[in-house]
């Protein structure tokens, strides 16, 4: 039985609205924030970018001459040296190849330094409402516990299955709602199953309801 309608409707009741978890005011800032979010929390990224975006307010500022500023502003984040290089190299590509615009295709986006399939999906959803279902650790955990995918499935396979399963629904919204559910209720340890709006269709029963 396909429970996609039940899942969508109950998540809508629980989380009626959504917005991006990362703060930005310019398109390239969102791209940079997503690149910086790898292996760290959104809060830490927002804390870092609140300083970074103020110190370097233009895309042109992300160059080798300002490398020390970038590193200093993002050093609280994991892999900050590599991420600094990603921002500098991506800035150069955006300026010289894409006329300062963020590419609107996944094929082009994933060629940017520091951008993978998940990152590209998040960026395309936010900036172009691409209706994709990029998979992070929260979405992977929730979808497996709900029995929507197999335990052995990798993120790429999970994304394909979720997009097919929720073909008729707003996947941009669902992407955010699954993350919220994973953060607030369906945590990796000590999930609050008794509070879960989807407990009736959960296949795992990881704790008593």
pLDDT digits (tens), the chain, 209 positions: 579 999 999 999 999 988 899 999 999 999 999 999 998 999 999 999 999 999 999 999 999 999 999 999 999 998 999 999 999 999 999 999 999 999 999 999 999 999 999 999 999 999 999 999 999 999 999 999 999 999 999 999 999 999 999 999 999 999 999 999 999 999 999 999 999 999 999 987 654 33
What confidence score (pLDDT) does residue 1 get? 55
Residue-by-residue DSSP string for 165-206: HTTTS-HHHHHHHHHHHHHHTS-SSS--GGG-TTGGG-S---
Q: Is 136 a catalytic residue?
A: yes
What confidence score (pLDDT) does residue 18 get? 85
Q: How far apart are CA 207 and CA 185, in angstroms?
A: 12
Q: Is 118 a catalytic residue?
A: yes
Count CB atoms within 10 A of the CB of residue 129. Answer: 11
Cβ atoms of residues 119 and 130 within 8 Å: no
Q: Tell me the two tokens of residue 19.
A: 């917005």
Query: What stretch(es) of the chain map to CATH 1.10.1670.10?
Result: 4-17+133-201
Query: What stretch(es) of the chain map to CATH 1.10.340.30?
Result: 27-128
How distant, in Å, are the alpha carbons of 35, 58, 97 from that of 83? 7, 18, 20
What confidence score (pLDDT) does residue 204 get? 77
What confidence score (pLDDT) does residue 19 get? 86
Q: Tell me the two tokens of residue 81.
A: 């040296």
Longest CA pairwise span in the chain (Å): 58
Catalytic residue, from 73, 83, 118, 171: name it.
118
CATH 1.10.340.30 for the 27-128 domain, yes or no: yes
Catalytic residue, from 89, 136, 153, 170: name it.
136
CATH 1.10.1670.10 for the 4-17+133-201 domain, yes or no: yes
What confidence score (pLDDT) does residue 60 get? 97
């Amino acid at each position: 039985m396909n429970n996609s309608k039940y899942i969508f409707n109950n998540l809508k009741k629980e989380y009626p609205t959504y917005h991006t978890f990362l703060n930005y005011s310019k398109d390239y800032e969102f791209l940079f924030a997503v690149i910086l979010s790898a292996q760290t929390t959104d809060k830490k990224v927002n804390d870092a970018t609140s300083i970074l975006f103020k110190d370097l307010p233009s895309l042109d500022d992300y160059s080798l001459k300002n490398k020390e500023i970038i590193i200093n502003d993002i050093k609280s984040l994991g892999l900050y040296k590599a991420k600094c290089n990603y921002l500098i190299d991506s800035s150069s590509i955006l300026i010289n190849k894409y006329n300062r615009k963020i590419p609107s295709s996944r094929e082009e986006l994933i060629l940017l330094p520091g951008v993978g399939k998940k990152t590209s999906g998040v960026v395309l959803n936010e900036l172009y409402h691409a209706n994709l279902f990029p998979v992070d650790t929260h979405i992977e955990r929730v979808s497996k516990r709900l029995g929507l995918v197999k335990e052995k499935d990798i993120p790429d396979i999970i994304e394909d299955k979720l997009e097919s399963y929720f073909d008729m629904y707003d996947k941009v919204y669902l992407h955010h709602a699954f993350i919220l559910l994973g953060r607030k209720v369906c945590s990796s340890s000590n999930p609050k199953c008794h509070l879960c709006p989807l407990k009736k269709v959960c296949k795992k029963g990881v704790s008593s309801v």
